[in-house]
Structure formats: C-alpha cells, structure tokens
C-alpha cells in the first residue's frame, strides 16, 4: 500500500534525525548500518530534509542536512531531536515478541533487560498487564535449534499423535517454530524418507549427531496446516451445543448449524484421532456417518471400559 | 512520495513549534505544500495526512484555540510525540530487533519501524532457525493494548452478546490471545478469547477505572484447562509406564507423584473443572485410569459410554 510505504519512509527519517543529532560525527556507514539504509537512499532522505523547515522557508528557517567527509551533519532541526513515541501496536509487537522468546528460555539476557526497560516507559503505571507464554519442555528446543542452526542430523524418539506409535527417527531439521500454541520442528525425516513436521512435545528424547546435512535452498515456510491426503478418513458428526468448539479447533467442513446442533464433516489422517475426539465428547456428539471411525470408536470405548470394569 | 514527505515534515515542524492549537485555515496559508486551490482539495489532503501521522503513532490533537471554545485547531503536544528514553544499549536493541523478526503477529514480523524509533540497530547476523507465530494481527492487539495501558473501557460482541469490559491485561497462552478484565454487567473478572471478539471499540475517556492492586496477567489464566472452575477435587490417576513421560509433561510440577517399579506413574492432581479433566484423561485412551474419588471414576465411565 502506498500510504504505508510513505509512513515507513517518514518514520525512518524521524527516527534517524534524533540519533544523528545526538551523535555528532556519525559516519554515513554507521547511519546506514543502524537504520538499514542503502547509501543512496540516505542521501536522498537528507536532500529531502534539507528543503524542509519552518514557515518563511528561507535559509534561516530550513533544516540543514548533508554529508561532509563521510560525516552526516544535521543542524537547525531541534524540533526533531527527540525520539518518536511507539504506536500502541508497535509497543505491543515488540514487548510481545520479546516476552515470547524470553518464555522459551532461548533468549539472551540482553532481551530480558530490554523488555523490562521498554515495559517501564510504555506502561509506566501498569505493572504486569502483558503475559506471553510459549514455554516448551526444557531441553528439547535448544537441542533442535542447534541441529537446525548447525545443519546437523538429529536422532529422536518420537511418539506419533495419531496411533501413539513410538519410533526412533533420524531427522534433518530445517526450522523450529511455534504456531497455534505448539512447538514444531520441520525437516526431512530420513526414517520416513519424506518431508515432515513433528510436534516438539511428542519428542521423548533427542540428541544432535555429528553428521551434517545440506539444507534446502528454500525451506518451506514454518506453518502447520492440514493437508488432505488419499489415506484420510472422513466422518460426519453431529456436535451438540456444548461441543461446537470442535469446529474452531479442527479443520472441519460445517454442513449445517441450528439450535439442535452443528453437523460437520471431519477429516483426519487416522481414524484413531476422530475416535478419541468422539469418546471425549461423550453425549455431546454423535457419529452420523463414517464406518472406519465407527469401528475405531467402538473399539476404543470397549478398551477403556474394560480397564474400568476389571 | 517525495512531495508528501516534504509536506509532512513541514507540517510536523510547524505543529511541534507552534505551542498553541492552529486552525486548518492557518495551516493552509502558512505551511509549504498545502496551498491548494480548492477548499475540498485542501480538506482531503489534510485528512489523509493526519491519518498517516496517526497510523505512525503521532497524535494530532484537536483543541480549542481560545478559552471560549469558539474556534478549534490542531496541535501535537511534545510529550505525546516523544517517548521517554528507555535507556537501551545497542546489545539490547539488537536483541529486540531479532525478537521482532523471529516472532510474528498475524503472519507479519512485529515491525522494524519500532526498533528504528528506539534508535535503530545494526542487523544481528546469522540466520535464526527459530520462528513463532502469535496469531492475531498487531493492529487489533495494539488497539486493546492501548485500552489497557490508558485504562479505557472497551466493548465488543462475543458469542452473540454485547460485552462491556474494563480491560486489565492481555495474555497469550496455549496459542490464543485473551483479554482479561472486569465485565461490567456481571461485575466479575473474566477472560475473553480475542479472536472470537468482533466489533471491538475502545472508549474515549482515559483513566476511567483502576486496575486492582497487584494484578498480574500471567496469574489469571490457568495453565491447564481443568484448573479453572467451581469444582475442588483431588484426582488419583494411574498412568501406565508407556505414557508416563507424556503425563509428566502435562501435570503441574508440584503435583504429588510416585513412580512404581514397573514405570507406572501415580499422580494426585487438583481438578477445578471436571468435564475438562475427563476430556484430558480420555486422550490417554486405555493407558490411564482414574482411581478415585469414586464419583469421578463413575463420571469417566459415563462419558466413555456416551451417556454423559
């Protein structure tokens, strides 16, 4: 959007001016490095500042901004000598990002200090009003991160979510990411000989090996989404009022929704996933269609009840 | 774009130095770039510029120019334009910059502009393999955050009902953002998932309520779904050795546990929400068993039978 490009450029100018004014002798390279400028863009912005100032717009009213012997000089611009306030969205964005990383124990001490200092000026009287929790099981994230960062193969004991099957797997980790409240590691699974995404909390044990690998030039973006496959099982389920939350958590297709309940078409990579959900919902849901899921649900009910009846 | 930025720099310089509200007419006559031929063209240009400045976080305020409030004009109070210096070191700014790139809000990095405003930072080197997506977009969150930090009331639609809230805090937990505050109609502290709130508006009056002393956002929401509710039970559960590792990760660290010789885990867990607890226990299928109290055990059986 055009407006926001303008806002970005103006923000950078209004951020750069106070810093240059406060750091006499700053060089072109320093300013470029700090504010992410290409040299020619910095020179263009300085030229632009040079023709602006106060009404009258004569030599005594305009700001001075130029480069001399590689030094950036800004003068007659006292009104732009103070740093700009963060917008609420910017303040929130920085604080939330900082707190998110701090909660993982993967952040340097400098980040923790920065978050504290920033919170003090953004929220002078507010205390603990913001909390971001992305915590993961200790000892897993750091190992995965080292593997992904140093391109080293990892070996892990992983229990799948669907069947609960436990296997030792050899993975080339590409990225470690958090989405929808869970941490994931994506990469190439040598054991399955395919690209895979694994949930970090289902890793029982992990270690980095000494073996290296070549990461893909462009790893897929760190997102989780349901990808339909030929092996998927389907079920049509009636969700009574108290079970309607299911439609927000699972990728379902809503077939109808009225006072008696919501009818959804549920897809899963494994019938066990749908069966577990149905048993969990008890009388709040009813399976209308889906033989594989029905078979699995009957089996699961029987297994649990057998345990309670012995 | 160059003309627009020149005009905005001139406008800012003028408003920051005028020390009094100035009328739109005076701006049009005085500030370079606003000498438009028609009233309509000036008005549109000036509205656009004000919006852009507000989008950047620069407040252009509308105030009376005289004590009788006959005429109104614009000003930018210095304390609203500037930010007190947080005293960040370069190392701390670089850490924030990296965090802002690693963590995303609504699919977007949380914004290099913010770090520039804090004094910029050389780009920290080295590709970071870590990424996190916090879900909602910064715009909505910033809006709610503003209501919280300026103590303004807010209202929104939630589950087909209109709610008015004194917002105390903002929490991201288990993948969702919640706003926590006093719901005025119920006079009770409640939390609302922000992705389910629509038509969110915040009130004009700042400082319109007091946050309870010692309020701490992180203590408001339960870490586990079965920890909020009216019940007060202690469940004794046996987790089979094969799932003990998975149970240990999910129960509170201070829960009383005992490991048996065969690897089974016995745990005593506080339950405040019985339904949520039973739902969770069933995710262990036949590998966990509620041993007591008996009524809870019966409730699990009833749920599995599909009669409750």
pLDDT in tens, B137-178: 888 899 999 999 899 999 999 988 899 999 999 999 888 999
* Mean of the per-residue pLDDT values of chain B: 90
In a domain, A122, yes or no: no
The candidate with the shortest Cα–Cα distance to B46, out of B30, B58, B64, B28, is B28
- Own/partner pairs, A105-108, CB within 8 angstroms, 24+ separation: A105/A135, A105/A138, A105/A141, A105/A142, A106/A141, A106/A142, A106/A145, A106/B130, A107/B95, A107/B99, A108/B95
Q: Is B61 on the interface with A (CB under 8 A)?
A: no
Burial of A109 (0-12, 13-18, 19+ CB in 10 A): exposed
Q: What is the pLDDT of residue B111?
A: 67
The SS3 call for residue A82 is coil
Q: From the CA of B66, how many Å to the nearest CA of chain A?
A: 23
**Tens digit of pLDDT for each residue in A224-243?**
766 777 778 899 999 998 88
- Does A124 have pLDDT greater than 80? no
- A241 and A204 together in one domain: no
**Which are the contacts of B25, defined by CB distance < 8 A and separation ≥ 6?**
none
In a domain, A219, yes or no: no
Q: What is the pLDDT of residue B125?
A: 64
- Does A2 have pLDDT greater than 60? no
In chain B, residues with a C-beta closer than 8 Å to the C-beta of A65 are none
**Tens digit of pLDDT for each residue in B187-217?**
999 899 999 899 999 999 999 999 988 888 8
- Does A179 have pLDDT greater than 60? yes
Q: Is B37 on the interface with A (CB under 8 A)?
A: no
- Does A1 have pLDDT greater than 60? no
- A239 and A305 together in one domain: yes
Question: In whole angstroms, what is the distance from residue B220 CA to residue B179 CA?
Answer: 10
The residue of chain B nearest to residue A162, with distances taken between CA atoms, is: B283
- A239 and A197 together in one domain: no
Q: What CATH number has the domain bearing residue A30?
A: 1.10.10
- A178 and A243 together in one domain: no
Q: What is the pLDDT of residue A65?
A: 94
CATH dotted code for B226-305: 3.30.70.240
- Does A222 have pLDDT greater than 80? no
The candidate with the shortest Cα–Cα distance to B42, out of B58, B60, B23, B61, is B23
Which residue in A282, A285, A303 has the most chain B C-beta atoms within 10 A of its own C-beta, making it the best mutation to test that interface?
A: A282
In a domain, A161, yes or no: yes
Q: What CATH number has the domain bearing residue A245?
A: 3.30.70
Give the tokens for residue A62. Answer: 């305009």
**Tens digit of pLDDT for each residue in B68-112?**
888 889 999 888 899 888 999 999 999 998 898 888 888 777 667
The alpha carbon torsion through B157, B161, B162, B163 (nearest 10 deg) reads -90
Asked whether the beta carbons of residue B120 and residue A35 sit closer than 8 angstroms, the reply is yes
- Does B27 have pLDDT greater than 80? yes
Tokens 């779904």 correspond to B225
Asked whether the beta carbons of residue B57 and residue A111 sit closer than 8 angstroms, the reply is no
- Does A115 have pLDDT greater than 50? yes
Rg (CA), chain A: 28
Give residue B214's region: left, alpha or beta (phi > 0; psi -120 to 50).
left
Q: Which domain range does residue A262 map to?
A: 233-309
Q: Is B200 on the interface with A (CB under 8 A)?
A: no
- Own/partner pairs, A33-42, CB within 8 angstroms, 24+ separation: A33/B122, A33/B123, A34/B119, A34/B120, A34/B121, A34/B122, A35/B116, A35/B120, A36/A12, A36/B112, A36/B116, A36/B120, A36/B123, A37/A12, A42/A16, A42/A72
- Does B36 have pLDDT greater than 90? no
- Write down how long chain A is: 310
The phi, psi pair for A301, rounded to 5°, reads -55, -45
- Does B127 have pLDDT greater than 80? no
| For range B21-28, the mean pLDDT | 92
Query: Considering A49, A64, A80, which residue would you say is the last residue of a domain?
Result: A80
Q: How many CB atoms lie within 10 A of CB B22?
A: 18
Q: What CATH number has the domain bearing residue A174?
A: 2.30.30
Chain B residues 215-254 with a CB less than 8 Å from chain A = 215-218, 242-243, 245-246, 249
| For range A135-150, the mean pLDDT | 90
- Does B293 have pLDDT greater than 70? yes
Which residue in A50, A96, A277 has the most chain B C-beta atoms within 10 A of its own C-beta, making it the best mutation to test that interface?
A: A96
In a domain, A87, yes or no: no
Q: What is the pLDDT of residue A126?
A: 62
Residue extents of the structural domains in chain B: 2-81, 90-133, 138-221, 226-305
Which residue in B118, B128, B166, B253 has the most chain A C-beta atoms within 10 A of its own C-beta, making it the best mutation to test that interface?
A: B118
Asked whether the beta carbons of residue B105 and residue A122 sit closer than 8 angstroms, the reply is no
Q: How many CB atoms lie within 10 A of CB B227?
A: 16
Asked whether the beta carbons of residue A94 and residue B9 sit closer than 8 angstroms, the reply is no
In chain B, residues with a C-beta closer than 8 Å to the C-beta of A173 are 129
The residue of chain A nearest to residue B18, with distances taken between CA atoms, is: A54
Chain B residues 125-164 with a CB less than 8 Å from chain A = 126-135, 138-139, 141-143, 145-146, 148-149
pLDDT confidence bin for B129, thresholds 50/70/90 = confident
In a domain, A53, yes or no: yes
| For range B37-50, the mean pLDDT | 91
Q: Is B291 on the interface with A (CB under 8 A)?
A: no
Among the partner residues A54, A122, A307, nearest to B13 by beta-carbon distance:
A54
This model of the complex carries an ipTM of: 0.88
| For range A134-157, the mean pLDDT | 92
In a domain, A221, yes or no: no
Q: How many CB atoms lie within 10 A of CB A204?
A: 16
What is the CATH architecture assignment of B2-81?
Orthogonal Bundle (1.10)
Asked whether the beta carbons of residue A94 and residue B114 sit closer than 8 angstroms, the reply is yes
The rounded Cα B212 to chain-centroid distance in angstroms is: 19
Question: In whole angstroms, what is the distance from residue A255 CA to residue A264 CA?
Answer: 5
- DSSP class of residue B224 equals S
Among the partner residues A6, A79, A122, nearest to B149 by beta-carbon distance:
A122
Which residue in B2, B5, B107, B114 has the most chain A C-beta atoms within 10 A of its own C-beta, making it the best mutation to test that interface?
A: B114
In chain A, residues with a C-beta closer than 8 Å to the C-beta of B149 are 88, 91, 122-123, 126, 129
Q: What is the pLDDT of residue B126?
A: 60
Q: How many Cβ pairs closer than 8 A exist between chain A and B?
A: 363
């Amino acid at each position: 959007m055009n407006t926001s490009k303008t806002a970005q450029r103006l923000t950078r100018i209004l951020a750069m001016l106070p810093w240059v004014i406060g750091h006499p002798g700053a060089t072109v390279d320093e300013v470029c490095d700090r504010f992410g400028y290409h040299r020619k863009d910095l020179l263009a912005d300085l030229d632009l500042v040079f023709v602006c100032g106060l009404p009258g717009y004569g030599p005594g009213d305009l700001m001075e901004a130029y480069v001399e012997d590689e030094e950036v000089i800004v003068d007659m611009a006292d009104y732009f000598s103070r740093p700009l306030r963060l917008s609420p969205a910017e303040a929130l964005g920085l604080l939330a990002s900082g707190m998110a990383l701090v909660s993982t124990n993967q952040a340097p001490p400098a980040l923790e200090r920065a978050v504290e200092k920033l919170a003090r000026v953004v929220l002078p009287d507010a205390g603990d009003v913001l909390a971001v929790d992305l915590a993961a099981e200790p000892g897993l994230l750091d190992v995965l991160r080292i593997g992904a960062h140093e391109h080293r193969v990892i070996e892990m004991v992983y229990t799948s979510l669907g069947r609960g099957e436990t296997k030792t797997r050899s993975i080339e980790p590409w990225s470690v990411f958090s989405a929808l409240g869970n941490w994931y590691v994506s990469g190439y699974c040598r054991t399955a000989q395919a690209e895979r995404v694994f949930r970090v909390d289902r890793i029982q044990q992990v270690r980095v090996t000494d073996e290296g690998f070549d990461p893909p030039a462009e790893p897929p973006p760190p997102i989780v989404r349901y990808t339909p496959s030929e092996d998927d099982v389907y079920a049509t389920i009636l969700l009574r009022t108290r079970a309607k939350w299911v439609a927000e958590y699972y990728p379902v297709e809503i077939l109808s929704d009225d006072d008696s309940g919501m009818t959804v078409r549920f897809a899963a990579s494994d019938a066990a996933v749908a069966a577990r959900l149905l048993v969990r919902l008890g009388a709040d849901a009813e399976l209308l269609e889906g033989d594989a899921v029905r078979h699995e649900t009957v089996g699961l009910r029987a297994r649990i009840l057998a345990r309670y009846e012995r | 774009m160059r003309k627009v930025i020149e005009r905005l720099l001139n406008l800012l310089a003028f408003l920051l130095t005028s020390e009094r509200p100035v009328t739109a007419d005076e701006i049009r006559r005085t500030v370079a770039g606003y000498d438009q031929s028609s009233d309509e063209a000036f008005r549109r240009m000036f509205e656009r510029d004000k919006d852009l400045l507000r989008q950047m976080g620069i407040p252009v305020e509308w105030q009376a120019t005289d004590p009788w409030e006959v005429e109104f004009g614009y000003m930018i109070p210095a304390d609203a334009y500037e930010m007190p210096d947080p005293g960040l070191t370069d190392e701390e700014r670089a850490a924030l910059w990296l965090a802002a790139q690693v963590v995303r809000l609504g699919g977007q990095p949380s914004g290099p502009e913010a770090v520039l405003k804090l004094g910029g930072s050389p780009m920290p080197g080295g590709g970071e393999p870590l990424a996190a997506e916090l879900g909602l977009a910064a715009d909505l969150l910033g809006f709610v955050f503003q209501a919280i930090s300026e103590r303004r009331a807010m209202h929104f639609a939630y589950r087909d009902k209109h709610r008015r809230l004194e917002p105390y805090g903002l929490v991201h937990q288990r993948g969702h953002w919640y706003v926590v505050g006093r719901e005025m109609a119920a006079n009770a502290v409640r939390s609302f998932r922000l992705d389910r709130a629509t038509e969110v508006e915040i009130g004009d009056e700042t400082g319109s309520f007091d946050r309870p002393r010692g309020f701490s956002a992180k203590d408001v929401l339960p870490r586990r779904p079965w920890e909020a509710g009216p019940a007060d039970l202690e469940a004794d559960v046996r987790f089979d050795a094969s799932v003990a590792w998975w149970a240990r990760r999910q129960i509170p660290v201070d829960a009383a546990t005992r490991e048996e010789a065969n690897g089974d885990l016995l745990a005593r867990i506080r339950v405040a929400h019985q339904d949520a607890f039973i739902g969770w226990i069933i995710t262990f299928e036949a590998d966990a068993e509620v041993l007591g109290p008996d009524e809870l055990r019966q409730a699990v059986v009833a749920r599995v039978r599909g009669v409750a």
